[in-house]
Every structure is written in structure tokens, then in C-alpha cells.
């Protein structure tokens, strides 16, 4: 890349790749997920998302002086700048313009524009990046576009009476591909028209020898016929008059409201321009396939391409459908040839109900001079020439295209809503599954019903109809239920089984769990059935290979006769997944097991709810007892507490109830809830009375109780609980539980200010964790070691230890541990008076804590450390308010600042009181104490200001 004539230095290879991806993106936007796929394909590293952000940050710095920005837009990035010019985009636009001019008979303009576009080609596309997935794909497309453009340039030059130049262009094609029969023919034809008949014959014969000797084949009929024409001196003239080009046919009106489909339209246009013979837009009924096809038609017409649109929703026979297509294109119905429509686009809309239509389409596109074909259908045709574009539902959520369509359509009926109604509107759009037709129906009904009434009607009846308002809609599209029934009826029996199974999950389900669910009903053919389901658009598949069925389809499928049996199979398979995976959430396989359960988190939630609804609380309790580590690693404490409480109050065996209560009390301790100590103590006493065998739940419960006691400085109770944890761990003989109790001993020692002893316990645990490959435990122990080192005044060592912890965080999702790592790093930096780094780090700890793990003790510690930073900066009123806010958060959980942070930070508070005077300090401290949440916002603003 160059700016003002100078090359922009981009040393990192993938950073250059990110620039290439954003520069060549059409439309000019790539999501982070798309960029990860572009850079790493099917095997991205765990840190891929963070790496993309690092590359983008570096790119912004490099491009800053050029005036070109990398803007964060939605869920991705795009390049912006008035001086931005991309050779790939310019090349593709020039080729499209030149080919359009050629189709309209303006060969002079076509030759000029195509020649200019091809002159931009220098070397290989994406040089130095050829092995990256996006470059491989993009290079192949660009080469195909260049080849097609060169062929068209040769045609344009020939028509302009410039045969020698046309010969040179065709010979350049043969240099790249010596088996390009069209190029051999172009050379021979132009040699003939240049008056060199013998040379033309020799060219045809050389082509014949090359094909025969190298490939063992004869020339195609067109090249063989050309040789005969040259011998007879009957080669037809190359000049084509403009009057011979077919006049544009009338197109349906463009959609009145067209949202959320711009990227799909561009994708289809790109495929058409790259020479695709047939593009199939697939999707379930009501998803908006016809609207997309009409939008493509108008854009092609705008670009100068002949387009013919043929609606076939009422047709049932392939022969009459083909006749209608010929009529739309203005062709003679008595002929079979489509050559008069060459260079145009024939759109066949709604063909899925027509028997033998795939064969009819194949017969069209396999003619040498046929037009390109775009079809819309609910099921793929499975032709070898077919390129599929599966149309997904509109994007949900606030500001999504589903909401936009509903609101704009309802606005045509004079309806609008307040912010208070927006939540209901969003819920309605979600319940309608982002289906444009369903959203249109519902919006039309807002003249007589509120969104809340429509939502209730939908849940009661699982249907929304036109209410007679849209009489031009075909019978099969008069209600959502009719649309769904028509779509599902087109599926094969195996695909319907997979659909009903996937519909048991309220969200995404992995193909692995889905296959387990249908194993009894579908012994073979699962992959084929899944492919049919997803290519039809009834089921969506994400980049992780998970399947999701839109809400309306899900409700419809659950009512099928197979529904109850597959519901039981789904619940059983999900509980089996928990039983097999949860025990491996500790140790070397922890991250893989965590990812496996996270991928099926929607299924876990659905199955647990279904199990309780069926009254099988024992099975639900058994799975719940296996999931506390998963809930811990994902920060799901409050949701888990609600479930644990509900199960403990149900009719479950006494041993399960005791375990549920211990886990609930343990989570209360993690959240520093006021009743955590008595709740956990009572649960552990219940477990003792039942003489339960020591396991991870029980030992971890005693560890959590000891931690809570030591935090409130009840050292005697803390030591007693710690000893009980160690005793039970030794009794279990489980090395992991023994290690857990040793880690606890170090934690207790640290809070009793024996930091040297605590550090030695940390170091012993770190050695074990490195040996076992337990990254989660290792990160926690490193954070503890850094805290103890800071307490001992060994700040450089503390910083080095925290650096290692953050290296782990870069490759592993540490869940709720992340804000505590940030807190520890912030303390180390603050103690070392590196305030420009400390303050943003502590602010990030607050932000991450609010988003992922709202812990009052965390807020208090972070605010206390920020107050120390502001004290060092002599921002005395702000520091006093922050100390007050920290006191308020400490008071919420019955703690004080004593012993919570390094002594050097505690001493800063006393220094501030002396500097301000106790009375003045008290005034500002009281202000902060009365508004602790505002203090967090203020601290964040201060951190951002310092960062700037």
C-alpha cells in the first residue's frame, strides 16, 4: 500500500492481510468472525479474536497519517477515507462496466474500459499472502474475472476491426492456459479476418495437436466447425450491430421496504459477474427470496445487463415453465436455442414445486451460448453448475433489520411506539423468527392490535395471518402456518426427523448432540439430511457447526407426531453430554471441555427446563451437581443459584439435596452475599450429618467457608474450616482435592498477613498446575503469588508473574477470573507508581466486573486502588470520593479495607487524610459513600481521560 507515493510499513504478515481483506471487501465491511475465517479458515487459534483486534490497532496507527481510517462498525470493521482507492475494486468495477458495454453493442467503449481495467493487473494477486484462506479464494475469483475480461476484450477489439490486437490478447490467455479452446478459436478467427487464412488454419491444427497429445481429447464442436469454415472461407463476420441486442423486458417493481439484504444481493452479483452459470437462492417460505431476486434484477439492469424475470409460483410443469422463461426473454417458443439471450440473466422465481425443473434448468445452462440463470427455490437443485446462496432470517435484536422492517412497515399504518414498548416489539420480532413475510403480516395487524396482543396471540395460536389484508398473496402464503407447512412438506423424511430434533432446543445445538438425539430414529443418512435442512434455509448453521431453527419453525415442528419421542431423546442425550464432559473441566482438558459445553449451552438450559417440567427432578439434580465448575468458569452464579434453590426445595434424595445446598452456599460466598457464611455452614453441617463421602463439592464448600471467614477476619473459624477441608481432602485420596486444600491454606495465610508462607503455597501450587496443564488454576495461583509479592514490596517480580497470568488469559477464556487478574495487575502497577498504566487497568477491571462478574468486593478493591492513584496525582477531592465509594461497597458485604490491598496503598489513605484534614476528607468521603455507583462511572471517565 502506498500513500503520497510512499509505501506504508506493515511488517506483520497477517496485519497486511487484514488490510487486504478490508480493502477488497464488497460491501466494504467484514465482521470479526468473517475476518477470523479469512485469516485462519477452519482451524483458528483460541486467541484469534484478540489477535484480529491487535492487527486492527496496529493498522490504525500505520494508516493514521494517510487520512484513511479503520472504523469499528457493528460487529466488524471497514476502511473509510476520501483518498482510498483499491486496485482490486477498481479492476472489478471496470470489468463489470466494460462487459455491460459489450452486451449493449458498444464495442468501442468496451475495448477502452476493459483494456484500462486489465492494465491494473501486475503480478499475482495477494502476493506474500497466497497461503491464507481469503487469498486463495480471492485469487481464484480474480483470475477467473481476468480471464473472462480478456475474452471479452478480444471480442470487442475484433468487432472494432482491430484483429491484430485481439490476437495478442488471446495469445496472452493461451500463455496462461494452453488448453483454452475459446482463446485458440479467437486467435484463428482474428487471423482469418486479418487476411491470414493459412495462419488461421495452422492455429486450428496446433490446437488440435496440443489437445490430442496432452489431454487425449478432440477439439470442441465450435473449434472444429471454425476450422471447416476457414477452409470454406465462410467465417461469419465478427461485427454485431447494436440493434441486434435484446431490448430490456419489464421487471417487477423493486421492494418498497428492503432491509438487511444488501450483503446477500452483493454476494449474488459477485457470483454472476464471476461467470456462475446458475445461482440458486434457497430458503424457507416467507424468507424473502423473491424480493432479493427482484433487487438483483434491478441492479443488473442498472449496470447494463439484459435481465428477464419469470414468476413461476403457480406453475407445476417443467416444459411450460421453460416456455414462460423463453417468453419472458422475448425468444421464439418454437426454438430450443437460447443463444439470442447470451450475456443476459434469466430469473426463474419460485420453482420448488415444479417436477423435473432441475433437469430443465440444467438443459438451459449447458447450452454453449445460454444466458446465466438465477433461480429462487425452497430446496437446492443439486446441479454441478449450481452455486447456492442460502437466505437466512433477518437479524434480530435492538437495531436489527427485523425490527427495522417491522417498525417501518407498521409506520405505514400510522403506528409508532414508545421506548417502553420497544422490548415487546423486539420480543415479537424474535418470536416471528426474523421471517420477512411474518413480520409484514404482523405489522399489517398493528392497525387493530398492540404488539403485546400480537405476541400473546402468537404464543396461543403459533400463527399470524394476513387477516385478508394482502389478497395478492398466494394461498400457500396466507398465514405463517401455511408457509411453514409448505416448506416442511418439501423435506425428505430424514430431514424432517433432524428438523424436529433440532427444534427441541431453544437456540443453537451442535451437530454432535443433534446426531446423538436422532441416532435411534435415523441409523444412516444424518449428514445428507442435515445438508438438506440447512441448504433449504429452514435450519441455519453457524461457523462453529451449530444448528438453529427459527422460532416459528421450531413451534411448528414441535407439534409433529415425532415431537414427544425426540424431546425425550434430546433431553437424554444432553444429560449424557454433561455426565461425560463435566468431570474433565479441571486439568489439562479443561478448556476443551469448557468449549464443548459452551457450544451446547442453549441445549443445557433447554434440557434442564424440560427435565424439571417433566417432574424428573432427580435427573436434573444429578446434572446440576456436575456443573458448578462450568458455572464458575462462565460466571453464571445467579442463574445457577436460582436453579439450585428450586431443585433443593423439590422432592430429591437427601444426599442430592445436601450437595445442591453446599453448591448454592459456595456460590453465595463467591458473590460475597451477606448470608453466605450461615448458608454455607448450615449446608456443610447437613452433609456431615449424612456422613457423605468427601468429593469436590464438599471439600470446595469447606474451602469457600474458610475463605469467607478469613475475609471478615474471623481467623479462628477460618483455620478450623481450612483444617476440615485438608482432612477431608486427605481422606478422599484425590490429588486434585489435596491440591485445592493446599491452595486454600495459602489464601488463609495471605489474609492473616503471613505473605511469605502464602507465597510458598502459591509457588507449590504453580508447579503442580504447570505439570498438570491446568491453565485456570495456574492463572489464579499466579494472581495470588503476584498479590503476595506486592504485599512483600517485590513489585518487579509481581509484575513478571502477572505478565505470565495475562499470557494465559490471551489464549484461554478465564471467565470471572479475568477482572481479578486485571485488579492484581492494576495493584502491581499502582504500587510501582506507573499510573498511566495502572488507572486504565483498574478501570478495565471495573468494566469487566460489571459486565461479567458483579462482585461488590471487587468494586471496592478497584475503587480503593484508584483512590490511591488519584492521591499520588494530588487529585484530592476525587480521591476522597473514591475512598468513600469503596467504603460503601465494602460495607455492603461486611468488609473493611484493612488487609485487602498492599500496605503501601493503605498508607496512601492516611497520607490523604493528613493532607486534606480529617473534616474536609470526611465531607468528600461522605459524598462518595452516598453514591457508590456514580463513583464507578466517574472512575471510568477519569481512566479514559488519562488514556487520551
Q: DSSP per residue over 716-743, as a string?
A: HHHHHHHHHHHHHHHHHT-HHHHHHHHH
pLDDT at 566: 95
Please, which pLDDT band fits residue 473 given cuts at 50, 70 and 90? very low
461 — pLDDT class (breaks 50, 70, 90):
low
| Per-residue pLDDT tens digits for 791-809 | 888 888 888 888 888 888 8
| pLDDT on residue 798 | 86
CB 516 within 8 A of CB 551: no
On the question of a cis peptide bond just before residue 27, with omega within 30 degrees of 0, the verdict is yes
- Better-scored residue on pLDDT, 752 or 81: 752
For residues 569 and 520, the answer to whether their CB atoms sit within 8 Å is: yes
Q: Which residues contact 8 (CB under 8 A, 6 or more apart)?
A: 1, 2, 62, 63, 66
> What is the percentage of the chain residues whose pLDDT exceeds 70?
92
| Helical spans, DSSP H, in 303-356 | 318-328
Instruction: Please count the CA atoms within 13 angstroms of the CA of 301 that sit on its side-chain side.
Output: 20
pLDDT-based confidence at residue 520 (cuts at 50, 70, 90): very high
- Report yes or no: 864 and 823 within 8 Å, Cβ to Cβ: no
H or E element, residue 819? helix 817-831
Would you state the pLDDT for residue 454?
82
- For the beta sheet containing 30-31, the strands, ordered from the edge strand earlier in sequence to the opposite edge, are 30-31, 76-80, 69-73
Question: Of 237 and 533, which is predicted with more confidence?
Answer: 533
Calculate what percentage of the chain has a pLDDT beyond 90: 33
Look at the block and give the residue holding cell 416471528: 432
pLDDT band at 333 (very low <50, low <70, confident <90, very high): low
Distance CA 451, CA 403 (A): 12
Confidence at residue 238, expressed as pLDDT on a 0 to 100 scale? 59
Residue 682 or residue 221, greater confidence: 682
The candidate with the shortest Cα–Cα distance to 779, out of 751, 750, 797, 801, is 801
The pLDDT, as a whole number, for residue 946 is 45
Give Rg (Cα) of the chain: 35
How many Å apart are CA 595 and CA 576, to the nearest integer? 16
What's the CA gap between 401 and 404, in Å, rounded?
5
pLDDT in tens, 361-413: 999 998 888 899 999 998 889 898 899 999 999 998 888 999 999 988 888 77
Residue 358 has pLDDT above 90, yes or no: yes
DSSP-derived 3-state class of residue 603: helix
Confidence of residue 11 (pLDDT cuts 50, 70, 90): low
246 confidence band (pLDDT: 50, 70, 90): very low
Whether 948 shows a pLDDT value over 50: the answer reads no
Q: Which residues pair with 389 in a beta bridge?
A: 281
State the angle between helix axes of 563-581 and 617-626 in degrees (0 to 180), rounded to the nearest 10.
Answer: 30
The predicted-structure confidence for 640-685, as pLDDT tens digits, reads as follows 999 999 999 999 999 999 999 999 999 998 888 888 999 999 999 9
Determine the pLDDT at residue 100. Answer: 63
389, containing H or E segment: strand 386-390
Chain-centroid distance, C-alpha 422 = 25
Q: Has residue 294 got a pLDDT over 90?
A: yes
Phi-psi region of 546 (alpha: psi -120 to 50; beta: other; left: phi over 0): beta
Task: Label residue 102 left, alpha or beta by phi (over 0 means left) and psi (-120 to 50 means alpha).
Answer: alpha
CA angle in degrees (0–180, nearest 5) for 637-640-646: 140
Looking at residue 7, its pLDDT comes to 59
Q: What is the pLDDT of residue 883?
A: 93
Which residue did the predictor score with more confidence, 442 or 577? Answer: 577
What pLDDT score does 242 carry?
A: 38
| Phi, psi values for residue 104, rounded to 5° | -85, 5
pTM recorded for the entire structure: 0.60
Residue at grid coordinates 463467591 = 670
Lowest-confidence range among 434-438, 519-523, 582-586, 749-753? Answer: 749-753
Give me the pLDDT at residue 227, please. Answer: 87
As a whole number, mean pLDDT of residues 225-237 equals 83
Res. 27 pLDDT band, cuts 50 70 90: low
Mean residue pLDDT of the chain comes to 85
Is the Cβ–Cβ distance between 540 and 634 less than 8 Å?
no
Q: What is the dihedral of CA 9, 13, 16, 18, to 10 degrees?
A: -140
- 233 exposure class (CB count in 10 Å sphere: 0-12, 13-18, 19+): exposed
Determine the pLDDT at residue 814. 77
Q: Residue 75: what pLDDT? A: 67
Mind listing the pLDDT tens digit for each residue in 885-900?
Answer: 999 988 887 778 876 7
Average pLDDT over residues 209-216: 85
Q: Please state which of the ranges 5-14, 110-119, 158-167 shows the lowest mean pLDDT.
A: 5-14
Q: For the chain, what percentages of helix, strand and coil (3-state, to nearest 5) are there?
A: 65, 5, 30
pLDDT band at 341 (very low <50, low <70, confident <90, very high): confident
pLDDT band at 628 (very low <50, low <70, confident <90, very high): very high
Amino acid at each position: 500500500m502506498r500513500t503520497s507515493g510512499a509505501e506504508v510499513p506493515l511488517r506483520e504478515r497477517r496485519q497486511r492481510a487484514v488490510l487486504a481483506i478490508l480493502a477488497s471487501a464488497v460491501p466494504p465491511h467484514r465482521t470479526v468472525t468473517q475476518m477470523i475465517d479469512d485469516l485462519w479458515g477452519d482451524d483458528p487459534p483460541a486467541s484469534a479474536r484478540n489477535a484480529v483486534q491487535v492487527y486492527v490497532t496496529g493498522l490504525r496507527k500505520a494508516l493514521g497519517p494517510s487520512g484513511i481510517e479503520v472504523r469499528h462498525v457493528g460487529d466488524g470493521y471497514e476502511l473509510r477515507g476520501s483518498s482510498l482507492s483499491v486496485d482490486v475494486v477498481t479492476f472489478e468495477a471496470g470489468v463489470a462496466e466494460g462487459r455491460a458495454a459489450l452486451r449493449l453493442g458498444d464495442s468501442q467503449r468496451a475495448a477502452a474500459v476493459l483494456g484500462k481495467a486489465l492494465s491494473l493487473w501486475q503480478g499475482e494477486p495477494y502476493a506474500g499472502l497466497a497461503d491464507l484462506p481469503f487469498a486463495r479464494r480471492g485469487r481464484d475469483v480474480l483470475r477467473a474475472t481476468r480471464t473472462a475480461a480478456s475474452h471479452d476484450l478480444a471480442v470487442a477489439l475484433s468487432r472494432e476491426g482491430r484483429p491484430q490486437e485481439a490476437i495478442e490478447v488471446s495469445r496472452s490467455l493461451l500463455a496462461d492456459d494452453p488448453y483454452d479452446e475459446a482463446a485458440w478459436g479467437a486467435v484463428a478467427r482474428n487471423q482469418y479476418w486479418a487476411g491470414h487464412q493459412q495462419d488461421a488454419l495452422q492455429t486450428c491444427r496446433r490446437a488440435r495437436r496440443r489437445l490430442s497429445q496432452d489431454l487425449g481429447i478432440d477439439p470442441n464442436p465450435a473449434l472444429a466447425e471454425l476450422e471447416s469454415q476457414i477452409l470454406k472461407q465462410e467465417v461469419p463476420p465478427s461485427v454485431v450491430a447494436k440493434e441486434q441486442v435484446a431490448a430490456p423486458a419489464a421487471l417487477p417493481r423493486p421492494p418498497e421496504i428492503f432491509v438487511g439484504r444488501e450483503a446477500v444481493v452483493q454476494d449474488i452479483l459477485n457470483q454472476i459477474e464471476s461467470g456462475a452459470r446458475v445461482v440458486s437462492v434457497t430458503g424457507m417460505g416467507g424468507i424473502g427470496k423473491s424480493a432479493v431476486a427482484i433487487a438483483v434484477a434491478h441492479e443488473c439492469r442498472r449496470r447494463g445487463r439484459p435481465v428477464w424475470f419469470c414468476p413461476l409460483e403457480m406453475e407445476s410443469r417443467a416444459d411450460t415453465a421453460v416456455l414462460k422463461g423463453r417468453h419472458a426473454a422475448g425468444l421464439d417458443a418454437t426454438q430450443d436455442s437460447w443463444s439470442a439471450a447470451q450475456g443476459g440473466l434469466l430469473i426463474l422465481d419460485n420453482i420448488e414445486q415444479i417436477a423435473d425443473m432441475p433437469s430443465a434448468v440444467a438443459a438451459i445452462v449447458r447450452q454453449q451460448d445460454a444466458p446465466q440463470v438465477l433461480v429462487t427455490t425452497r430446496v437446492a437443485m443439486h446441479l454441478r453448475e449450481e452455486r447456492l446462496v442460502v437466505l437466512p432470517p433477518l437479524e434480530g435484536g435492538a437495531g436489527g433489520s427485523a425490527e427495522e422492517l417491522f417498525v417501518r412497515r407498521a409506520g405505514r399504518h400510522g403506528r409508532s411506539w414508545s421506548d417502553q414498548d420497544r422490548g415487546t416489539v423486539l420480543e415479537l420480532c424474535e418470536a416471528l423468527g426474523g421471517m420477512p413475510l411474518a413480520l409484514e403480516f404482523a405489522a399489517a395487524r398493528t392497525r387493530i392490535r398492540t404488539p403485546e396482543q400480537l405476541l400473546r396471540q402468537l404464543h396461543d395460536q403459533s400463527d399470524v395471518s394476513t387477516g385478508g389484508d394482502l389478497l395478492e398473496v398466494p394461498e400457500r402464503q396466507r398465514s405463517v402456518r401455511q408457509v411453514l407447512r409448505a416448506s416442511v412438506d418439501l423435506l425428505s423424511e430424514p430431514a424432517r426427523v433432524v428438523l424436529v430434533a433440532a427444534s427441541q432446543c431453544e437456540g443453537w445445538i451442535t451437530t454432535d448432540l443433534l446426531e446423538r438425539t436422532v441416532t435411534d430414529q435415523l441409523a444412516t443418512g444424518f449428514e445428507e439430511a442435515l445438508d438438506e435442512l440447512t441448504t433449504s434455509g429452514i435450519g441455519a448453521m453457524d461457523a462453529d457447526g451449530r444448528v438453529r431453527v427459527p422460532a416459528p419453525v421450531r413451534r411448528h415442528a414441535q407439534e409433529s407426531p415425532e415431537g414427544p419421542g425426540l424431546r425425550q431423546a434430546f433431553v437424554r442425550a444432553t444429560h449424557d453430554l454433561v455426565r461425560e464432559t463435566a468431570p474433565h473441566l479441571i486439568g489439562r482438558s479443561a478448556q476443551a471441555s469448557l468449549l464443548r459445553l459452551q457450544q451446547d449451552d442453549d441445549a443445557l438450559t433447554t434440557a434442564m427446563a424440560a427435565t424439571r417440567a417433566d417432574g424428573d427432578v432427580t435427573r436434573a439434580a444429578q446434572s446440576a451437581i456436575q456443573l458448578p465448575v462450568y458455572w464458575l468458569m462462565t460466571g453464571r452464579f445467579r442463574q445457577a443459584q436460582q436453579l439450585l434453590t428450586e431443585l433443593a426445595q423439590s422432592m430429591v434424595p437427601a444426599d442430592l439435596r445436601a450437595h445442591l445446598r453446599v453448591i448454592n452456599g459456595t456460590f453465595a460466598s463467591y458473590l460475597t452475599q451477606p448470608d453466605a457464611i450461615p448458608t454455607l455452614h448450615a449446608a456443610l453441617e447437613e452433609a456431615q450429618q449424612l456422613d457423605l463421602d468427601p468429593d469436590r463439592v464438599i471439600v470446595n464448600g469447606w474451602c469457600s467457608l474458610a475463605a469467607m471467614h478469613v475475609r471478615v477476619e474471623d481467623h479462628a473459624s477460618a483455620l478450623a474450616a481450612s483444617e476440615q477441608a485438608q482432612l477431608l481432602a486427605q481422606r478422599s485420596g484425590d490429588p486434585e482435592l489435596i491440591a485445592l486444600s493446599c491452595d486454600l491454606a495459602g489464601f488463609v495465610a495471605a489474609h492473616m498477613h503471613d505473605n511469605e508462607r502464602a507465597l510458598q503455597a502459591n509457588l507449590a501450587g504453580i508447579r503442580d498446575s504447570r505439570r498438570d496443564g491446568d491453565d485456570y488454576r495456574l492463572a489464579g495461583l499466579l494472581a495470588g503469588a503476584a498479590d503476595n509479592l506486592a504485599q512483600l514490596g517485590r513489585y518487579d517480580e509481581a509484575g513478571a508473574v502477572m505478565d505470565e497470568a495475562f499470557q494465559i488469559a490471551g489464549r484461554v477464556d478465564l471467565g470471572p477470573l479475568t477482572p481479578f487478574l486485571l485488579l492484581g495487575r492494576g495493584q502491581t502497577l499502582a504500587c510501582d507508581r506507573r499510573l498511566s498504566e495502572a488507572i486504565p487497568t483498574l478501570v478495565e477491571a471495573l468494566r469487566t466486573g460489571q459486565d461479567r462478574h458483579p462482585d461488590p468486593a471487587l468494586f471496592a478493591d478497584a475503587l480503593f486502588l484508584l483512590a490511591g492513584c488519584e492521591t499520588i496525582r494530588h487529585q484530592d477531592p476525587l480521591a476522597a470520593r473514591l475512598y468513600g465509594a469503596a467504603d460503601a461497597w465494602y460495607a455492603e458485604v461486611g468488609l473493611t479495607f484493612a488487609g485487602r490491598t498492599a500496605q503501601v496503598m493503605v498508607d496512601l489513605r492516611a497520607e490523604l487524610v493528613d493532607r486534606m484534614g480529617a473534616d474536609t476528607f470526611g465531607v468528600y468521603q461522605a459524598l462518595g459513600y452516598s453514591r457508590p455507583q456514580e463513583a464507578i462511572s466517574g472512575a471510568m471517565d477519569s481512566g479514559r481521560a488519562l488514556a487520551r
